[in-house]
Amino acid sequence: MGDEESTSEATTKVQEVAANMQQAAIRRKRISPSRSAKAKAEEVTRRYFEAIDARDLDTAVSMWADGGRENVRGRVDVLAPEGVREFIGELIDAVPDLSMQIVSSTSEDDRCGVHWRLTGTFAGPGHFGGVAPTGSPILLEGFDLLTVRDGLIQSNDAFTDSMTFARKIGMMPPQGSAAEQRMLGAFNAKTRVSDSLGPGEARLVAEGVWVVQGQPGRCNVYLLEDDGGVTLFDAGARTMTRAVARAGAKLGGIRRVVLSHGHTDHRGVAPALGVPVLCHPDEVQDAEGTGGFRYWPQGLAGLPTPLRQAHRLMHRYAWDAGPVEISDTVAEGDEIAGFAVVDLPGHAPGMIGLWRESDRLALSGDCFYTLDLWGRGCAPCVPAEIYNYDTDQARASIRKLAALEPAAAWPGHAKPVTGDVRAQLERAADAS
């Protein structure tokens, strides 16, 4: 009996050893291709930097796959072979004694990261980045992350110290110098002047709802508390960008922008924020295009001459920051940060408002105005016909909003309507 138990135990141990050996073999099979790719990535990367160091443009370019992407952040974003040839060729032509050395490298799978150091003289004859050669010595460091497959470079994500380069060639003053202090002082003075003339701080106007109001036109941008951050309703004038960004950061960060419509004075901040922008499907054309000019009179004809000139300047230099890419659309009944979307077309073909039943709060875009075209406050009124897509439809939308019986209705410009909101809006819709 004892011998049988010993034999059984030995058999079990042999089986365990065999199983372990089999698992180890499987692991080696899984790892070896990765090691091969890793070694290849490092080999190709080193040969690539050696070619640049030797200023051998043809060899460097030949190591790229067709269509490979060279993306040097803040500098170039080009495709191989021609884009890479032009970029590296420009560098060699601008720094004829260029030396490119690898300081350190690390590889994983098919990627190799390289900390490099470039030295040389910006002697030309070629320009670099549009800058004429200065004869200045250069010492520049950066990091490249190359992806290599089938022995060819598929992509390079590169990061470099552009500020040091600018200082080395004299485009920027030396760090800590009197010239730098003067430059910083002038920049900060400009910022202080802009802030003194710009919008004030965000104001809390209802539960979870903040407003930043700015000039020209007393544009309202609403910040709606939304899951730890904020959703913007409307994006006002571009002159408000810094104030809106600052207010959004204090409330947890701006997550998205919902436009009431795509006019220039309601999309102004949006392009600078780098967040998704949404609007009604019928507003995509204008948000991504002319900002309303496609259906306004040519040259804003119909406005009094001084007002026409002022408005043309404000559209171009104060309200608008240009077209904005729309990432998604919304329609009536959709939920936005605790509000329901309400269709209010007329002033614009796809204009929307937001409605919160719990406190009967309406954020109504340009469904109605509480200021005139000269920027003076007034009772609620139909938006100026010159800026409307369909004025009769705009009147109908004011009546639709009035029928909700809001406790407060905040427009796209100027002051809200409170008190007997329904009666005030109905009078506005019926006024000739």
Tens-place pLDDT, residues 322-350: 999 999 999 999 999 999 999 999 999 99
Can you say how many angstroms the Cα of residue 425 is from the centroid of all Cα atoms in its chain? Answer: 37
Average pLDDT over residues 363-369: 98
Give the lowest-confidence range in 121-135, 208-222, 366-380, 387-401: 121-135
Amino acid, res. 383: P
Band (pLDDT 50/70/90 cuts) for residue 30 is very low
Residue 22: inside a domain? no
Instruction: Please give the structure tokens belonging to residue 146.
Output: 């190359």
**Strand 99-108 relative to strand 111-121: parallel, antiparallel, unpaired?**
antiparallel
Cα 183 from Cα 205, distance rounded (Å): 40
Instruction: Please give the structure tokens belonging to residue 267.
Output: 């999309």
Q: Based on the domain organization, do 107 and 164 belong to the same domain?
A: yes
Q: Where is mean pLDDT largest: 12-26, 115-129, 380-394?
A: 380-394
Phi, psi angle pair for 87, to nearest 5°: -70, -50
Report the share of the chain in percent with pLDDT over 70. 89
**Other beta carbons less than 10 A from residue 216's beta carbon:** 18
Residue ending a domain, among 168, 188, 215, is: 168
Band (pLDDT 50/70/90 cuts) for residue 281 is very high
Q: Based on the domain organization, do 141 and 245 belong to the same domain?
A: no
Q: Based on the domain organization, do 162 and 215 belong to the same domain?
A: no
Q: Give yes or no for a contact between 53 and 100, defined as CB atoms under 8 angstroms apart.
A: yes
**Strand 408-410 relative to strand 417-418: parallel, antiparallel, unpaired?**
antiparallel
Residue ending a domain, among 168, 188, 209, is: 168
Residue 384: inside a domain? yes
* Overall domain count for the chain: 2
Angle at 152 between CA 149 and CA 158, to 5 degrees: 90
Q: Based on the domain organization, do 87 and 209 belong to the same domain?
A: no
Residue 420: inside a domain? yes
Residues 6+ apart with CB under 8 A from 428: 368, 379, 380, 381, 382, 398
Residues 6+ apart with CB under 8 A from 253: 229, 230
**Per-residue pLDDT at 2:** 47
Q: How many residues does the chain have?
A: 432
Residues 6+ apart with CB under 8 A from 336: 224, 231, 233, 258, 330, 354
* pLDDT at 248 > cutoff 80: yes
Q: Based on the domain organization, do 159 and 207 belong to the same domain?
A: no
Residues 6+ apart with CB under 8 A from 326: 277, 278, 279, 284, 287, 288
Domain holding 308, by residue range, is 199-430
CATH code at position 117? 3.10.450.50
* pLDDT at 7 > cutoff 60: no
Average pLDDT over residues 257-265: 98
Query: What is the arrangement of strands in the sheet containing 277-279, beginning at the earlier edge strand?
Result: 203-206, 209-214, 219-226, 229-233, 254-258, 277-279, 328-329
Q: Based on the domain organization, do 124 and 209 belong to the same domain?
A: no
Residue 124: inside a domain? yes
Instruction: Please give the structure tokens belonging to residue 43.
Output: 């080999």
Residue 177: inside a domain? no
Q: Based on the domain organization, do 237 and 372 belong to the same domain?
A: yes
Instruction: Please give the structure tokens belonging to residue 86.
Output: 């032009």
**Per-residue pLDDT at 361:** 98
Average pLDDT over residues 61-81: 94
Q: Based on the domain organization, do 115 and 229 belong to the same domain?
A: no
DSSP, residue by residue, 49-88: HHHHHTT-HHHHHHTEEEEEEEEETTTEEEETTHHHHHHH
Residue 188: inside a domain? no
Cα 400 from Cα 423, distance rounded (Å): 12
Cα 38 from Cα 149, distance rounded (Å): 10
Residue 11: inside a domain? no
Average pLDDT over residues 82-108: 95
Residue 18: inside a domain? no
* pLDDT at 24 > cutoff 70: no
Q: Based on the domain organization, do 323 and 219 belong to the same domain?
A: yes
* pLDDT at 22 > cutoff 80: no
**Per-residue pLDDT at 167:** 77
Residue ending a domain, among 151, 168, 185, is: 168
Q: Based on the domain organization, do 243 and 117 belong to the same domain?
A: no
Q: Based on the domain organization, do 142 and 204 belong to the same domain?
A: no
Band (pLDDT 50/70/90 cuts) for residue 432 is confident
CATH code at position 321? 3.60.15.10
Cα 173 from Cα 179, distance rounded (Å): 6
Cα 228 from Cα 277, distance rounded (Å): 18
Angle at 164 between CA 158 and CA 167, to 5 degrees: 140
Q: Based on the domain organization, do 123 and 247 belong to the same domain?
A: no
**Per-residue pLDDT at 23:** 58
**Other beta carbons less than 10 A from residue 170's beta carbon:** 13
